[in-house]
A and B are shown apart, each in its own frame.
Chain A
Amino acid sequence: MGVNMALPDPRRAVSEPIPAAAGIGLRFPHHRAVVERRPAVAWFEVHTENYMGGGAPIQYLETIRRDYPISLHGVGLSLGSAAGLDREHLERVRQVAARIEPGLISDHLSWSISDGLYLGDLLPLPMTEEVLDVVCRNVQQFQEAVGRRVLIENPSSYLRFRHSTIPEWEFLAAVAARTGCGILCDVNNIFVSAANHGGDAGHYLASLPAAAIGEIHLAGHARKDLGHGREIRIDDHGSRVDPAVWHLYMEAIDRFGPVPTLIEWDTNVPPLEILIEEAATATAILDENRSRNAYARAS
Chain B
Amino acid sequence: MPMPALLELQRDFARGLLAADDPGATPWILGDAVTAADRAAVHRNTFVGVIVAAMRITYPVVERLVGAEFFEAAAQLFLQDHPPRSAYLNAYGAEFAAFLAAFPPAAALGYLPDVARLEWAVAGAATAEDAPPLDPAALASLSPEQLEALRLVPHPSLRLVALATPADAIWRAIASGQEDALGTIAIAGDPFTVVVHRSPNGVMLRRLTATELAVTAALSLGSPIGTALAGAPEAEAMTLLADHLASGRFTRAEAPDLPQEA
B86 & A81 in contact (Cβ 8 Å cutoff) = no
Contact with B along A34-74 (1 / 0, CB 8 A): 00000000000000010011111111000000000000000
Interface centre among B10, B33, B83, B127 (most CB of A within 10 A): B10
Shortest CB distance B122–A (Å)? 11
Cβ 8 A contact of B88, one of A92, A161, A196: A92
A241 within 8 A of B: no
The distance in angstroms between the C-alpha atoms of A120 and B88, with both chains bound, is 10
B39 touching A158, Cβ below 8 Å: yes
* Bound complex: CA A232 to CA B41 (Å): 11
Q: Is the CB of B39 within 8 A of A75?
A: no
A59 CA / B86 CA spacing, docked (Å): 23
Contact count band on A: 35 or more
Q: Is A117 an interface residue (CB 8 A)?
A: yes
- Flag whether A83 is at the interface (Cβ < 8 A): yes
Cβ of A148 within 8 Å of any chain B Cβ, yes or no, is no
Instruction: Report how far A56 CA is from B157 CA in the complex, Å.
Output: 13
A287 at the interface (CB under 8 A from B): no
Residue of A119, A228, A234 ringed by the most chain B CB atoms within 10 A: A119
- B84 close to A162 (CB less than 8 A): no
Is A131 an interface residue, CB under 8 A from the partner?
A: yes
In the complex, what distance in Å separates the CA atom of A88 from the CA atom of B17?
24
- The answer to whether A55 and B39 touch (CB under 8 A), given A76-B87, A111-B10, is no
Contacts of B43 in A (CB 8 A): 121, 123-124, 158-159
Number of A-B contacts (CB under 8 A): 138
Contact at A234–B33, with CB atoms within 8 Å?
Answer: no
The closest CB in chain A to the CB of B29 belongs to A159
Which residues on A sit within 8 Å (CB–CB) of B103? none
A117 touches B14 (CB 8 A): yes
CB neighbors of B among A108-152 (8 A): 111-121, 123-126, 128, 130-131, 134
Question: 1/0 contact trace for A233-275 toward B, CB 8 Å?
Answer: 0100000000000000000000000000000000000000000
A288 within 8 A of partner (CB): no
Majority secondary structure of chain B interface residues (helix, strand, loop or mixed): helix
Question: Which single member of B25, B36, B38, B130 contacts A54 (CB below 8 Å)?
Answer: B130
Task: Identify B6's interface contact among A55, A59, A77, A82, CB under 8 A.
Answer: A82
Q: A75 CA to B54 CA in the complex, in Å?
A: 14
Q: Which residues of chain A are near B13, meaning CB under 8 Å?
A: 114, 123
With A and B bound together, what is the CA distance between A83 and B131 in angstroms? 35
Contact of B36 among A89, A120, A159, A226 (CB under 8 A): A159
Most chain A beta-carbon contacts within 10 A, residue among B5, B14, B33, B85: B14
- Pairwise interchain contact A163-B88, C-beta atoms closer than 8 A: no
Interface positions, chain B 129-182, Cβ under 8 Å from A, are 129-131, 156-157
CB within 8 Å for A49 and B127 given contacts A81-B10, A114-B13: no
Q: What separation, in Å, do the CA atoms of A114 and B84 have in the docked complex?
A: 11
CA distance A251 to B90 in the complex (A): 39
Contact A120 B84 (CB under 8 A): yes
Partner among B28, B84, B89, B129 whose Cβ is within 8 Å of the Cβ of A161: B28
| Interface membership of A292, Cβ < 8 A | no
Q: Which among B46, B54, B83 is the interface contact of A117 at CB below 8 angstroms?
A: B83
Max chain B CB contacts within 10 Å: which of A59, A126, A159? A159
Minimum CB–CB distance for B55 against chain A, Å: 11
Given contacts A54-B130, A160-B30, contact A86 B39 (CB under 8 A): no
**A119 pairs with B14, CB closer than 8 A:** yes
Given known A-B contacts A54-B130, A76-B87, A130 and B5 have beta carbons under 8 A apart: yes
Known: A120-B51, A130-B6, A162-B3. A232 touches B127 (CB 8 A): no
Decide yes or no: A161 and B29 within 8 Å by CB, A120-B51, A232-B34 being known contacts.
yes
B86 near A89: Cβ-Cβ < 8 Å: yes
CB <8 Å contact, B46 and A53 = no
CB-defined interface of B9-33 with A at 8 Å, one 1/0 digit per residue?
Answer: 1110110011000000100111001
**Residue A53 contacts which of B38, B50, B127 (CB distance < 8 angstroms)?**
B127
User: Please, how many angstroms separate the alpha-carbon atoms of A59 and B132 in the complex?
Assistant: 13
For A115, the chain B residues whose CB sits under 8 A away are: 11, 14
> Which B residues lie within 8 Å of A86 (CB)?
86-87
Chain B residues 88-143 with CB under 8 Å of chain A are 88-90, 126-131
Residue of B nearest to A233 (CB): B42
Add 9 more A-B contacts to A54-B129, A56-B202, A128-B6 (CB < 8 A).
Answer: A53-B90, A55-B198, A78-B87, A114-B13, A123-B13, A159-B43, A162-B3, A224-B42, A230-B33
Closest 7 pairs (CB-CB, A-B): A76-B87, A54-B130, A159-B39, A53-B127, A120-B50, A163-B3, A82-B7
17 chain-A/chain-B pairs, Cβ below 8 angstroms: A49-B88, A53-B127, A54-B128, A55-B128, A55-B198, A76-B87, A76-B88, A88-B86, A92-B88, A115-B14, A118-B84, A119-B47, A119-B83, A123-B43, A161-B30, A232-B34, A234-B42
Seen from chain B, the residues whose Cβ lies within 8 Å of a Cβ on chain A are 3, 5-7, 9-11, 13-14, 17-18, 25, 28-30, 33-34, 36, 38-40, 42-43, 46-48, 50-51, 54, 83-90, 126-131, 156-157, 198, 202
